[in-house]
């Protein structure tokens, strides 16, 4: 019973997070300003981390969690680099 | 009624957390597309996504604990996301203030440093 409920909740969560990727993509393409696009990338990688973790639960492989950690670290680095570039004009002075 | 075992209780809890996380992530993404200007849009995804991803990772930790495995990677991701999400939101807000993006409520004059006051709003 609880396993069936968990499977249903997993399916609903995977569909919802996949749907949450669409507004981020819309904002990434049509965002009126470049900072909007950076924000869209930030939200996009957070949702991608959630999706990878959900897939790891679904497939039962703990190997995917390290991939999620890597995506989180690289996403943070890219967001900071883009924000620094928009603020200062270059990334490393 | 045979009574709930610990494992089935953990699975119920994880299912509830997954539903909460899905709702928060979806609402954050809808806020990204629906709110009118950048300073408002900054609020939706950063907070909602932090709570959503926290719930996903908590559910994953509970599930791996019911299978007798400690979830160190999940704990690391949680710590990392909770530490870095406010930092990146702050840096994006700084970039928006520097580019003087139009907002519904403009920042007070003394929030902008002196040397940037005369610069025109850029159109990057």
Q: Closest approach of chain A CAs to the CA of B17, in angstroms? A: 9
Average pLDDT on B67-73 reads 78
Asked whether the beta carbons of residue A35 and residue B99 sit closer than 8 angstroms, the reply is: yes
Q: How far apart are CA B69 and CA B44, in angstroms?
A: 34
Asked if pLDDT for residue B86 goes beyond 70, the answer is: yes
pLDDT given for residue A33 in this prediction: 85
Q: Is residue B114 part of a domain?
A: no
Nearest CB to B95: which of A10, A15, A83?
A: A83
pLDDT, tens only, A1-39 = 778 888 899 999 999 999 999 999 999 998 788 889 999
For residue A2, the chain B residues in CB contact (below 8 A) are 7-9, 11-12, 15
pLDDT given for residue B7 in this prediction: 80
Across chain A, what does the average pLDDT equal?
89
Q: How far apart are CA A49 and CA B62, in angstroms?
A: 18
* Contact of B57 with B78, CB cutoff 8 Å: yes
Whose structure tokens read 């790891």?
A56
Whose structure tokens read 């004009």?
A89
Instruction: Provide the number of structural domains found in chain B.
Output: 1
Asked if pLDDT for residue B106 goes beyond 70, the answer is: no
Other beta carbons within 10 Å of B93: 19
A58-64 long-range contacts (CB < 8 A, ≥24 apart) are A58/A10, A58/A14, A62/B64, A62/B69, A62/B71, A62/B73
B20: tokens are 């909460």
Q: Is residue B85 part of a domain?
A: yes
Q: How far apart are CA A37 and CA B100, in angstroms?
A: 16
Of A2-11, B25-34, B115-124, the one with minimum mean pLDDT is: B115-124
pLDDT given for residue B1 in this prediction: 43
pLDDT given for residue B3 in this prediction: 55
Q: Closest approach of chain A CAs to the CA of B48, in angstroms? A: 10
Q: Is residue B32 part of a domain?
A: yes
Average pLDDT on A63-76 reads 90
Pairs across A and B, CB distance < 8 A: 173
pLDDT given for residue B119 in this prediction: 56
Q: Is residue B118 part of a domain?
A: no
Domain ranges of chain A: 2-88
Give pTM, 2 decimals.
Answer: 0.84
Across chain B, what does the average pLDDT equal?
81
* Rounded (10°) CA dihedral B56, B90, A18, A23: 150
Q: Closest approach of chain A CAs to the CA of B109, in angstroms? A: 18
ipTM given for this complex: 0.87
pLDDT given for residue B2 in this prediction: 53
Vertex B77: Cα angle to B73 and B79 (nearest 5): 115
Residue-number span of the structural domain to which B74 is assigned: 8-101
């Amino acid at each position: 019973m609880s396993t069936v409920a968990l499977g249903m909740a997993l399916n609903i969560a995977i569909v919802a997070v996949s749907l949450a990727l669409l507004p981020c993509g819309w904002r990434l393409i049509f965002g009126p300003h470049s900072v909007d696009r950076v924000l869209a990338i930030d939200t996009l990688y957070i949702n991608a981390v959630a999706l990878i973790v959900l897939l790891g639960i679904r497939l039962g492989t703990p190997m995917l969690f390290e991939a999620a950690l890597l995506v989180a670290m690289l996403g943070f680095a890219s967001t900071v680099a883009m924000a620094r570039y928009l603020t200062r004009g270059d990334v490393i002075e | 009624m045979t009574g709930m075992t610990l494992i089935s209780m953990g699975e119920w809890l994880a299912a509830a957390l997954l539903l909460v996380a899905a709702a928060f992530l979806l609402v954050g993404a809808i806020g990204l597309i629906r709110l009118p200007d950048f300073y408002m849009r900054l609020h939706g995804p950063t907070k909602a996504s932090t709570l959503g991803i926290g719930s996903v990772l908590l559910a994953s930790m509970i599930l791996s604990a019911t299978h007798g495995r400690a979830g160190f990677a999940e704990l690391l991701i949680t710590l990392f996301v909770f530490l870095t999400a406010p930092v990146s939101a702050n840096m994006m807000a700084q970039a928006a203030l520097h580019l003087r993006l139009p907002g519904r409520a403009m920042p007070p004059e003394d929030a902008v440093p002196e040397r940037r006051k005369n610069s025109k709003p850029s159109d990057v």
